Structure 1
Amino acid sequence: MFLSVITVAFRNHEGVVKTWRSLRNLARDPSLTFEWIVVDGGSNDGTAEFLEKLNGEFNLRYISEKDNGIYDAMNKGIAMAQGRYA
C-alpha cells in the first residue's frame, strides 16, 4: 500500500519535527511505503528550513506559502497526494 501522510502547519516547527520523528518509526515497516506532504502557511519559525534539510526523506514534498486557512491548506495537500491519504 502507498500512503500519503498530509501535514498542514502554520508556525508549528515543533509539531512538524514531532511528526517527522513519528514517521521514522513508520518507515521501519517494510510492507508500507508512503510519502509525506507538508503544507506550511508561510511560517517564519524555521519550518521550511527544517524541511529543506531533509532532502526528500520519506518521499517528502512540501510547499510553504500563504494560504486561505486550514481547509485551503488541506485541499492543497490532497491535490498533491499520489496515494491513499488519511
Structure 2
Amino acid sequence: MTRVGRPRLRRPFSTVRASPLWGPGPGGDYLVRQLALVSEESGSVGVALAAEPDDGQFATATAMLNELGQWFVEHRHNFSTVTCHTA
C-alpha cells in the first residue's frame, strides 16, 4: 500500500536534507517535487524527483513521489556518491 501524505525520504540513510515543493503547474494540475541531499558513510548523493499525475491531484502526485522515493531507496547503491569538503 502506498502512503499518501507529505513526500519525504526516510531511513536507511545517515542524513537526509530535503525540500518538498508543490503547487499548480502551468495547466493548473499539481506538480510535486522533492529535492534532497542524502548522506551515507560512503558519501552523499543529490536526488531530484518530480511527479505530475494525469488526474492533476495532489494526493496522486504525492503517492507517485513516494513510489519513486522507495525505488531510490531500493537502488541507492547503484548511484555514485561524493564527499564534499568545506573550505
Using the size of structure 2 for normalisation, the TM-score is 0.33
Using the size of structure 1 for normalisation, the TM-score is 0.34
Bigger proportion of residues as strand: 2
Q: Give the number of the structure with larger relative contact order, counting CA–CA contacts within 8 Å between residues 6 or more apart.
A: 1
Bigger proportion of residues as helix: 1
